[in-house]
Amino acid sequence: MSQAAIRQRVHPLAVTAAVHRITWRIWFNDVARSLGSRAKARTLILAILAAIAAWTVWSSLELGKQLGLDPETGREIAAPVASVMFAMPALATLMAVLYAPDRTLLSEMLSVLPVKESHVRGATRWLTVAVGFCGGLVVSAPLALQFVFTGSFSVALAGVGYALFAALLGCLTTQLLTELMQVGAARFLGRSGVMAQGIGGLITAALLLYAFMSSMPINGSDGKGVLLPLGDVLAWFLGGQIPAWWVLCLVGGALPVLLIALDALEAVPRKESAPWRPRLGRPPASSSNSPTFMLLELRQWLRYPPNAVLLLFINGLCAAAVVAVALTGGDELGVFYVALGVASAVGIGCYGPTRRHHWLYRVTGSPTAWIGPKFRAVLMIWAVMMAVYGTAFMLVSGAGPVEILLALPMLFVELCASCALGLLLPVSRDQSIGGAVSEAVAVVGLLGLTFGLQSMLAASANLLTSLAIQLAMMGAAFGWYLLTAKWLALHRTEMASA
């Protein structure tokens, strides 16, 4: 039997199941290898799941106290709820897609087996959709769970069920748009790679943000928002009037149309991916305290393609937030500060892509000599973004520097937390979900951290007390990063050969 015939006999579902099982196993082994044992990996994962569950319950209860939702109010806010449930998983999926490497160890292994490349790509696609779906649901769950507090079983079932549908719709829409835009950008540039992925991600993010902003009533929506049909159907499920027939057809047929379009996209020829090799210079080796080691870390961080794509996407997101503030004359939804919070998650990829170079520090200094240069490199990237977009925000909004300066301590805490999470959940090229899972966990963790710390600060009416709390939080976050990094450097014996 020919190899082509064997490839035809391998069912796509079998490929998807195998790829998912192997990928998650590789990811768990990566975490266990990073921490030194499988027991520690299980403990970390259980702690993360417990923290996510606690944050979901706490934030749901806090939001419930503010909204006091009943069935009638639920119908009135159906449009913004549907928009949030669509947009949050969509943006989470976009970040997962952008952080997935083009080629992984698993895909290279499967390339020599009788498995069609389109089946492997489809299996990887469902992995990123699953990560984005779960991450987006965690972020938006406090809003969706408000229907449970109405006291009506039918309202709770309709609201939560429709929220799951809208989240899946957002994930698949993002996946389709991202692939289409990346294929188009690759054809325009003549090759695939970091630039094509980044441009495709920026266009997709702009479309998603436009759809979300145009559907929010706070922006003067007059019924022409892109996502308003989703809200009309949700209001109908909650006991409202039945929407127009075309709205029902549009929403009901969206899911099968997206699945068919994604399957048809496999027939589109793809440009060969070009390697990402930015010319950043080659710093000479010297003492571990030399600034050249910071440049080495900066160079290696930027040379990792998913980091470059994510950095391009984050800058585009911050620029879009500034433009939105300039057009609306304000930031009532807090989009700009959310964008700065996402930008503070750049520390996620600071460990995995550069750990293979840590033998340099063992030769020139000590096993812990990489901690300072690595953090300074990430801090430099973060500080430049904060300075550029903070200045732009002040220029377009008329805000004073005090407003930006008061936000910096919280953003620094988020940066340190993302660096520590990046150490515990290292990113690697071996599988496609390491960066996506780390990014999803970091975003959820940073949101919980931000809301919790803001609640603490809001409870204090004294300015000096608030400043003292912020300084203590900055010291605690930086200390957490240092302790985590030193523990990994001293106890992870395979670091030199990773």
Q: What are phi and psi of 192, to 5 degrees?
A: -90, 170
The residues with which 273 forms a beta bridge, in sequence order, are: 192
Q: What tokens appear for 389 in the block?
A: 């977009």
Contact of 212 with 83, CB cutoff 8 Å: yes
Q: How far is CA 306 from CA 103, 112, 382, 466, 482, in A?
A: 11, 25, 17, 37, 25
Q: What tokens appear for 492 in the block?
A: 């992870």
Q: Count CA atoms closer than 13 A to 265's CA, side-chain side.
A: 20
Contact of 243 with 229, CB cutoff 8 Å: yes
Q: What is the pLDDT of residue 354?
A: 64
What are the DSSP calls for 140-161, one per residue?
HHHHHGGGGGGS-HHHHHHHHH
Q: What is the pLDDT of residue 310?
A: 76
Q: How far is CA 412 from CA 55, 370, 421, in A?
A: 21, 20, 14
Label residues 344-357 b or e (16+ Cβ within 10 Å = b): bbbbbbbbbbbbee
Q: Domain residues of the chain, as ranges? A: 1-275, 289-498
d(CA 496, CA 355): 8
Task: Spell out the per-residue pLDDT of the chain, length 498, in tens.
Answer: 455 544 455 667 777 777 778 878 878 887 887 777 888 888 888 888 888 888 788 878 877 777 766 667 667 777 778 888 888 888 888 877 877 766 666 666 666 666 777 777 777 788 888 888 888 888 888 888 888 877 777 878 888 888 888 889 989 999 888 888 888 877 877 766 677 777 888 888 888 888 887 777 655 555 556 777 887 888 787 777 787 777 788 887 888 888 888 877 776 666 555 555 555 555 444 444 555 778 888 887 777 777 777 787 788 888 888 887 887 777 666 777 778 887 887 877 776 666 666 667 767 767 778 888 888 888 998 999 999 988 888 888 777 777 778 788 888 888 888 888 778 776 666 655 666 676 666 666 666 666 666 666 655 666 677 778 778 888 888 888 888 888 877 765 444 333
Q: What tokens appear for 378 in the block?
A: 């990430």
> Closest by alpha carbon to 230, among 129, 335, 84?
84
What are the DSSP calls for 78-98, one per residue?
HHHHHHHHHHHHHHHHHHHHH
